Amino acid sequence: MRYARLVDTYESLEATTKRLEMTDHLVDLFKETPPDILDKVVYLTQGKLYPDFMGVELGVGEKVAVRAIANASGHPESEIVRLWKETGDLGTTGERVLERKRQQSLFTQPLTVEAVHSGLDTLARASGRDSLDAKIKILSRLLHDATPREARYILRTVDGKLRLGIADMTILDALSLAFASKEDRPTIEAAYNRCSDLGMVAVYLAHGGLEAVRDIHLKLGVPLRAMLAERVQSMEEIFEKMGGPCLLEYKYDGLRLQAHVFGDGRVRLYSRHLEDLTDQFPDVVKSLRRSIKGHEAIVEGECVPVGPDGEMRPFQEISHRRGRKYNLQKAMEEVPVVFFAFDILYLDGEELMDRPLPVRRKRLESLIREGGGEGVRLSTALETGDIKKAEEFFQESIAAGCEGIMAKSIGEDSVYRAGARGWQWIKYKRDYKAEMSDTVDLVAVGAFAGRGRRGGAYGALLMAAYNPEEDVFETVCKLGTGFDDETLFSLRERFTEHPTIHPRVKSEMEADYWLVPEVVMEVAGAEITLSPIHTCARDVIRKGSGLAIRFPRFTGRWRDDKSPEEATTTKELVEMYRQQLKKVG
């Protein structure tokens, strides 16, 4: 199939924003595509080469792109760079430059979809010492064979900027219309939810119709789409929605992982968005391998950092494992993690996702208990229909360091609904009573000495908002969460201490150290409340009271780009407080 045919559709898609028209264009394209390459057409239309979980990333640096266009066009690189700056779009740049190419080479051959896909695939996989040259060569060859119009889209694809706005759901619509009917859409979507691979669903559908699609099963190494939860604001609502007893579980504040354990001991881990995270969690891999030894299983759980005392730690302490430069070995030693298993979808050849939750839970319990081991535990759960017991369970979960609870239906229909958000799972978090909708940027004005593990370092900071009318900083909270160890122990170095309270700071709280108000930090919180002790907006809402942020947490973002005078103002906090009242009321 000619790549030009695909490009025709790209252009039509770009010319409309109406979903129905987009679907029609895709239907035409899919019907014309030979079934064997339908998967490639689907991936390419989404600017990819494979489904996301395969982790094959397209992308070339500026050097490769510019050099390849230069090779294919004979134009100097400087001119290409200049044009790229001017247009801001690599695709248009390549197209224009190639249009100016005087004569078409004798050796050009029409590009096919297969050739583009395989070229881009080789490009994406090139690694190592000579990869730069290899990439330039591959891209040059593709551009050499491309018409200027084709070059536009090839370049946008490698630049990660194809952006045709085709959502998965639109592709599913188009596939149903092209190869089945509108009514069959749920069957097709269910298949997609099991395999997370639109290309595979497309090929099965085009070859074998609905029968083939119904036959798509769970497979180790192919993640299914995650089941999602609805939220409620009160415990009463949980039981109203459930209509009777349900299974309550701690809602861990960590990272959701879908673990695929193979019979031979291999393990693969996928995020909630189905990225392959195996390499970031060798410790979890090891624990699961030990704990689920000799079985084949797909298990879901939340991965949480746990301190030496067995206490759960803030999630931020593992979030930076994702940075490439991070020393993983050190991270694993300093912040061990525990995988709290909460569901099982597959065990030793048997698909469990269509079985009710109580059946799955039993299987999960015996599997995890049989394995034992440190790094893998069962989620703490309680089956109840009693609201008082539920309240107690909620309080226990908060005390244990969790965010709240998950309530899960235990009826006959409590199957695992991959890819769906529904009332079978309900989350109820501590912060909901009046959630602070936005983060704020606050200035550190004081510090408190750390105790225990934080001894010798700052244990918490006194944070303030800016009052421009009086040009002073007024305190709003004591900030002690959201710091990883590394940040915590280097905290003192970031600030300038001041022997007494700084003249531009208004505080009624006694800090152990006073700081020069110069460092701005981003802070999230649960809610803004009235406070007898903080000085922010004192007397504005109520005589004798100021405003405070409850459960403040450092987001990890140092706002070095902001001067203290650019911090959130007291007036803004008053406005946020009023908004919040409106929401609750």
Distance CA 422, CA 416 (A): 11
**Residue 427 contacts ligand AMP per CB under 6 A:** yes
Looking at the Cβ atoms of 426 and 573, the one nearer to ligand AMP is 426
Closest contact distance (angstroms) between CB of 50 and ligand AMP is 24
- The correct pick among 45, 157, 287, 379 for binding ligand AMP (CB under 6 A) is 379
- In the chain the first and final C-alpha atoms are separated, in Å, by 60
Kindly tell me which of 376 and 547 has the beta carbon lying closer to ligand AMP.
376
Residue 251 designated active-site: yes
The pattern of x and - marking residues 146 through 185 that bind ligand AMP according to CB under 6 A reads ----------------------------------------
Q: Which of 25, 144, 251, 506 contacts ligand AMP by CB under 6 A?
A: 251
| Sole window of 168-176, 248-256, 313-321, 496-504 interacting with ligand AMP (rule: CB under 6 A) | 248-256
Which residue type is seen at 159? D
Nearest distance, CB of residue 233 and ligand AMP, angstroms: 14
Exposure string for 93-105, b = 16+ CB within 10 A, e = fewer: bbbbbbeeeeeee
Give SS3 for 515. strand
Residue 406 or 488: the one with the smaller Cβ distance to ligand AMP is: 406
Please report how close the Cβ of residue 200 comes to ligand AMP at its closest, in angstroms. 24
Q: Is 406 in the site for ligand AMP (CB under 6 A)?
A: yes
Give the contacts of 508 (CB within 8 A, at least 6 positions apart): 475, 533, 534, 535
Confirm or reject binding of residue 550 to ligand AMP (CB under 6 A). no
* 394 counts as binding ligand AMP under rule CB under 6 A: no
Sheet bearing 404-408, strands edge to edge: 228-231, 421-429, 404-408, 246-251, 381-384
Shortest reach from residue 392's CB to ligand AMP, in Å: 17
Indicate whether 302 belongs to the interface with ligand AMP (CB under 6 A).
yes
Based on CB atoms, which residue is closest to ligand AMP, 138 or 364? Answer: 364
With respect to ligand AMP, which residue has the nearer C-beta, 46 or 424? 424
Closest CA relative to residue 230, chosen from 434, 432, 528, 526: 432
Contact criterion met (CB below 8 Å) for 411 and 358? no
Residue 563's contacts (CB-CB under 8 Å, 6 or more residues apart) are 520
CA dihedral 562, 565, 568, 571 (to 10 degrees): -160
Q: How near is the Cβ of 255 to ligand AMP at its closest, in Å?
A: 7
Which pair of structure tokens corresponds to residue 275?
């990225």
- Pick the piece of the chain touching ligand AMP (CB under 6 A) from 174-182, 246-254, 322-330, 561-569: 246-254
Rounded least distance, CB 343 to ligand AMP, Å: 7
Q: Taking CB positions, which residue lies at the least distance from ligand AMP? A: 256
* 492 is a site residue for ligand AMP (CB under 6 A): no
Q: Does 229 bind ligand AMP (CB under 6 A)?
A: yes
Q: Which stretch binds ligand AMP (CB under 6 A): 250-258, 324-332, 497-505, 572-580?
A: 250-258
- If one asks whether residue 197 binds ligand AMP (CB under 6 A), the answer comes out as no
Footprint of ligand AMP on residues 323-352 (CB under 6 A)?
Answer: 342
| Contact by Cβ (8 Å): 125, 119 | no
Catalytic residue among 40, 251, 429, 506, which? 251
* CB distance 570 to 537 below 8 Å: yes
Q: Output the smallest distance, CB 401 to ligand AMP, in A.
A: 12
Alpha-carbon distance values, 80 to 84, 96, 139, 327 (Å): 6, 9, 15, 39
Binding flag, residue 191, ligand AMP (CB under 6 A): no
- Whole-angstrom CA distances from 91 to 44, 61, 69, 363, 387 are 15, 14, 10, 53, 59
Q: At what angle do helices 3-14 and 148-158 cross, to 10 degrees?
A: 80
**Closer residue to ligand AMP, CB minimum distance, 342 or 393:** 342
Of 43, 50, 204, 252, which lies in the binding site for ligand AMP, with binding defined by CB under 6 A? 252
Q: Is residue 256 involved in binding ligand AMP (CB under 6 A)?
A: yes
Q: How far is the CB of 257 from ligand AMP (least distance, A)?
A: 9
φ, ψ at 342 (rounded to 5°): -125, -10
**Pairwise CA distance, residues 405 & 248, whole Å:** 7
Q: How far is the CB of 465 from ligand AMP (least distance, A)?
A: 28
Stretch that binds ligand AMP, among 243-251, 285-293, 355-363, 393-401 (CB under 6 A): 243-251
Burial call 520-543: b when 16+ CB within 10 Å, e when fewer: bbbbbbbbbbebeebbbbbeeeee
Find all residues with CB under 8 Å of 245, minimum gap 6, and list them. 383, 384, 385, 410
Least separation in angstroms between residue 232's CB and ligand AMP is 12
Measured distance CA(297)–CA(290) in Å, rounded: 13
From 210-218, 244-252, 344-352, 504-512, span contacting ligand AMP (CB under 6 A): 244-252
Q: Interacting stretch for ligand AMP, rule CB under 6 A, among 40-48, 59-67, 119-127, 247-255?
A: 247-255
Alpha-helix runs per DSSP H in 474-565: 485-489, 491-494
Paired with 298 in beta bridges are 260, 346
Which active-site residues does the annotation give?
A: 251
The binding site for ligand AMP (CB under 6 A) comprises 229, 249-252, 256, 272, 302, 342, 379, 406, 427
